[in-house]
Amino acid sequence: MTMTSLAPSSGDGNCYYILTEDCSYGSKLFQAGNLCFCSERSYLRNFSDDRRPTCFLRVIMLDDSSTVTLNMEILQPVPEKVASFLLAISSHSERLNYFLDRVNLEAALRALPGHRVMAKTEHQYFPGIIRYIGSIYRRTAVLSPFFFGVELQGEGENRGCSDGTYRGTEYFKCKKNCGIFLPFTKVQFVPDDNHGKQKPKADTEEVVPVKAGDAVSFYVDKVLTKGIAMEVYKKGTQWLVKICPEEEGTTDIFREIPLDSVVKENLQSLFPPFESNMGSGPPNQMKQEISESSEECDGGNSLEVNSMVQITLDKGTRVSGIIRWLGYLPQFEHKMAGVELDEDKGISDGEWLGKYYFHCAPKRGLFVKLQCCQPDVRFQSSHSSYLSLIDNGGQEVLPQPPDSFPPLRNEAAVRVLCGRMKGIQGHCNSCYMDAALFSLFSCTSVVDSMLFKPFLLCDRNVQSILRDEIVNPLRRTGFVNAKSVMHLREQLTDKGQCSSFTNAEKDPEEFLSLIMHQIVGIEPLLKLQSGGQKEQDCCCYQIFMDKQEDLVVPDVQQLVERSFLSSDLKLVEIPSCFIIQMPRFGKEYKMFSKIIPSLELDVTDLLLDSPRECCLCGDVATLECSECFKDKVFAATGLKQFCSSCSRQVHSHYHRKTHKPKELQIPEEFHTRSARGCQLVPREKMELFAVLCIETSHYVSFVKYGPGNDHWMFFDSMADRHGGENGFNIPTVTLCPEVAKYLDLPLAALAVEQPRDMDGVAKRLFCDAYMYMYQSKKMALYK
């Protein structure tokens, strides 16, 4: 789903957009989340004419059909099908949240009739099967909302409201009161765990005789050539096949051939590049079952699912990857391996002849004889402990499949995560790691790039442990065994970075810095610049400031602004994830007895060379004054920047005549816009998604799982213990809606509130905060 470019495809259709900020137009106020559109021809005229493109676009609002002119900076393009799904959500704010979250939306786009889901009705989720996807209204408007027609099953039977018919039109057939039509927000899409499940056929597959992965033949200069179909697609009115010819090497050269010039070959010829060096295979009897066991290969190497391997192709090209499946394929007597490659040199996404044997990115999957796989010498290590993980409760824990599972939100988060023996099980001083991992991965995808992207310096072994043993089990079952975290800690110790990761107390920032930058090698979360000096990269920002008597109970916004001002710092770009450490040092010292969590962090005035708003008149600011920031005449929150006119007035007072305002660098386009009278500065805000807290050397975390102020859950990896020294910890996740009560309290009332009298675990959030985590869903679209 591409949402990063405003440019539409050419044609006679419409371009759809969603407002990312509230916008007033005349007497009307259009809330963020409104959908609008313009014709493609109208859009293209803005850019095809000789005149300079305008930064405004004339659009028609879908809600009331009014025509308005909007600043393109607050518009995000939306594909038509995505717009149809979003239109089914009546609440504008909820619509925008689901658009920015992407997880549910992308799952809805992948869904097909026949897929199993959990459907929400009567405030509960029940199993069902998708029978219909589309509009249930007669098309009278430009765009119709899309709904899912679900046949409820099991406990959900007789909890529906139809038999597949809506307002006299039949969309599918089922028993009476077993059918229901829902927007995608009320459907939980169940990941497909059955690797051999038949893939639902798309309409095009019934028409096109060749598909990706098929062995094919075609003629080149009257010479019959064989190869593998890599992609089948339509260009204009003509179907084309992208083919990798045999003689050119398995993936070195592709040819684009018209579909009507391609003949599908016998499947037995699909693996000629791998016929050399073949020993005698397993018994000739075909084994129909799909095996995911860890049997040894014929060459004597203990290769199993999740083994790191290397494969030599026909021209000596060597590729590496991870075995994701072992077993027997139809028409092949040899034992086969399904390998997820490190590069786009495969031929599938884990599918073979309509069945999925494993899942991976397109062109990353390759099926080869197991004999062709050799252990990757870069990652040789014993996997015996990996395959025999026994949890402290006495149950066997097998490695999780390599599929990706989305973060848990709203009701799904409550259903999967809450309870005893939920979350990440603590063991031997691991609470700093448990709390950090739970905060970063349970209910948000903002740093999911750590799990999948092949970064330049990435340690694939650590990345796969993090993804397959920790994040996937957490999101799928709500529980991660202590052995999985210990496996990660052992790997961090083996890398030689620190010999005490398996047993000593650590700080969360030490762990995050190590795994993000030195092990996985992701791009730095923060890019900072101080006083025109060289940029600095980091993953966490530590608040540094002097004790200030006027701040009794500060909020995070105030602390960040004062710290940036005192260090003369600016953000080089808007971060997708902003991790902030409070002015405290473990259990020894904390500057403030209480800190108010700012649910939103406005970073507009913290950005380098970005347009800013005059704090008095709202026009584009041209000057900033650090001395005015300390002046109690002005508001306590917000940096003090002024337009030229307001700056002259403010500094004409004898108390402020000695101030030395600093000139701001404003983008040229904002000067032009200001001259036209359109000087509104867009606000860049980030939302709080987690807080790490510490009390008596023990870390816990609060995670925001939904949009409401009361949508908080509290996680403690060592909340309870079973047995003595030979026992095990019981991790627990509980809901803590009482937090909302104190977030809504006036500052004066919160200041006198005694921690011991605060309800539930609210005291931990307000008094023990150590690290705040913010995300920008808008910027996460580009990461």
What fold, for 275-379? SH3 type barrels. (2.30.30)
pLDDT digits (tens, 9 = 90+) for 558-601: 899 888 888 888 898 889 999 999 887 655 567 888 899 999 99
pLDDT digits (tens, 9 = 90+) for 495-515: 655 667 777 788 899 889 888
Confidence of residue 12 (pLDDT cuts 50, 70, 90): low
The beta-strand segments (E) located in 625-684 are 641-642, 662-663
**Three-state DSSP state, 335:** coil
Q: How far apart are CA 92 and CA 440, in angstroms?
A: 27
Q: How far apart are CA 193 and CA 191, in angstroms?
A: 6
Query: What residues does each domain of the chain span?
Result: 14-98, 111-189, 275-379, 526-601, 623-683
pLDDT of 8 higher than 50 = no
pLDDT digits (tens, 9 = 90+) for 223-252: 777 777 767 777 777 788 877 665 543 334
Q: For domain 111-189, say whether CATH 2.30.30.190 is its number.
A: yes
pLDDT digits (tens, 9 = 90+) for 520-532: 778 888 889 887 7
**pLDDT, position 433:** 93
**pLDDT, position 700:** 96
Element (H, E) at 631: none
pLDDT digits (tens, 9 = 90+) for 178-219: 999 999 999 988 765 443 344 444 433 334 667 666 677 777
pLDDT of 436 higher than 90 = yes
- Token match 């860890």: residue? 294
Give the mean pLDDT of the chain: 77
pLDDT digits (tens, 9 = 90+) for 718-774: 998 877 777 788 899 999 999 999 998 888 888 888 888 899 999 999 999 999 999
| C-beta of residue 569 within 8 angstroms of C-beta of residue 658 | no
pLDDT of 298 higher than 80 = no
**Three-state DSSP state, 665:** coil
Same topology for domains 111-189 and 275-379, yes or no? yes
**pLDDT, position 6:** 44
pLDDT digits (tens, 9 = 90+) for 258-296: 877 777 664 333 343 333 333 333 333 333 333 333 333
**pLDDT, position 181:** 94
Q: What's at 390, amino acid-wise?
A: I
pLDDT of 703 higher than 90 = yes
Tell me the CATH architecture of domain 14-98.
Roll (2.30)
What six digits make up the tokens of 703?
């995670």
**pLDDT, position 607:** 86
**pLDDT, position 578:** 95
pLDDT digits (tens, 9 = 90+) for 70-121: 888 788 888 889 999 999 998 888 888 888 877 788 889 989 998 888 888 8
Helix, strand and coil percent figures for the chain, each rounded to 5: 25, 30, 45
pLDDT of 480 higher than 70 = yes
By DSSP bridging, strand 165-166 and strand 540-542 are unpaired
Q: Give catalytic residues, as residue numbers.
A: 431, 698
pLDDT digits (tens, 9 = 90+) for 152-178: 988 788 889 899 998 888 899 999 999
Q: Which of 77-81, 196-200, 481-485, 667-671 is predicted least confidently?
A: 196-200
Cβ-proximal residues to 292 (8 Å cutoff; 6+ apart), any chain = 195, 305, 325, 326, 327
By DSSP bridging, strand 712-722 and strand 698-704 are antiparallel
Give one word for 532, left, alpha or beta, with left for phi > 0 and alpha for psi -120 to 50: left
